Structure 1
Amino acid sequence: MPTPLYLTAAVAISAAITWGLRALPFAVLAPLRRSAVLRYLAFHMPVGIMLILALYTLRDFRPTDWPAAAPTALALVVAVGLHLKTRNAVVSVLGATAVHVVLSTFWLTG
């Protein structure tokens, strides 16, 4: 059985580490707001992340197999159309996902 001193030390160390990890983001927040690198990343990363997600989603897309590729192709058209119309990534992603799920469910099981 651990001694009371050991338990107290373990709790104190755990509390100090937890508090430090939670306080660290607030301590470095002010210098980060003035950072040119952070401004650059905030401007360019959303486009980069969306590109990576789109490429990852389309990695197995085979346009030569039209019956299986149709739901993905139509959902891609819907995503682009919704984004051009609304300029809202959430609307375009949710709309295209809904179209893809519905088409995949009914198109292939038909």
Structure 2
Amino acid sequence: MNDRYVLICILVSAAATLFMRALPFTILGKRKQIPEKIRYLGRILPAAIMAVLIVYCLKEVPTEFLSGGYKKLIAAAVCVALHVWKKNTFVSIIGSTIVYMLL
């Protein structure tokens, strides 16, 4: 790839990111009240995204269990245990990542 192509890709990505970040403000305008549909999505999407990420991370565990799948299951269990115990997302992510790297 040449430098011009890379620069164009970076500029297009930056413009798309800026557009997506500014879009909610332009749609909602100066409204004081957030619409109910947006509030519903704000409540439900974080859990849905986490569920999709968990399924994605653990999708190959049955086929590779002996070669390292058990490490993923142990790290996931540590993540759940830390989150239930401390109720802190940062601690559960860092703790389970450390356990997975040590295994």
TM-score bracket relative to the smaller structure = 0.5 to 0.7
Offset at residue 71 of structure 1 (A): 1.3
SS at 2:60 equivalent: coil
Unaligned stretches of 5+ in structure 2? 1-18
Distance 2:57 2:22 in 1: 37
Q: Give aligned-pair identity as a percent.
A: 31
Provide the TM-score with structure 2 as the length reference: 0.65
Distance 2:65 2:23 in 1: 52
Amino acid corresponding to residue 94 of structure 2 in structure 1: L
Q: Is the 8 A contact 1:32 1:38 kept in 2?
A: no
Q: Which has the higher contact order (CA 8 A, sep 6+)?
A: 1
Q: Is the 8 A contact 1:82 1:91 kept in 2?
A: yes
Superposition CA RMSD, Å? 2.7
Unaligned stretches of 5+ in structure 1? 1-20, 104-110
Once structures 1 and 2 are overlaid, which stretch shifts more, 60-69 or 77-86? 60-69
Distance 1:23 1:102, change over 3 A: closer
Alignment of 1:56-71 (within 5 A): 56-62=56-62, 65-66=65-66, 68-71=68-71
Amino acid corresponding to residue 42 of structure 1 in structure 2: G
Offset at residue 96 of structure 1 (A): 0.9
Moved segments of 4+, more than 4 Å: 21-25
Distance 2:63 2:91 in 1: 26
Alignment of 1:75-86 (within 5 A): 75-86=75-86
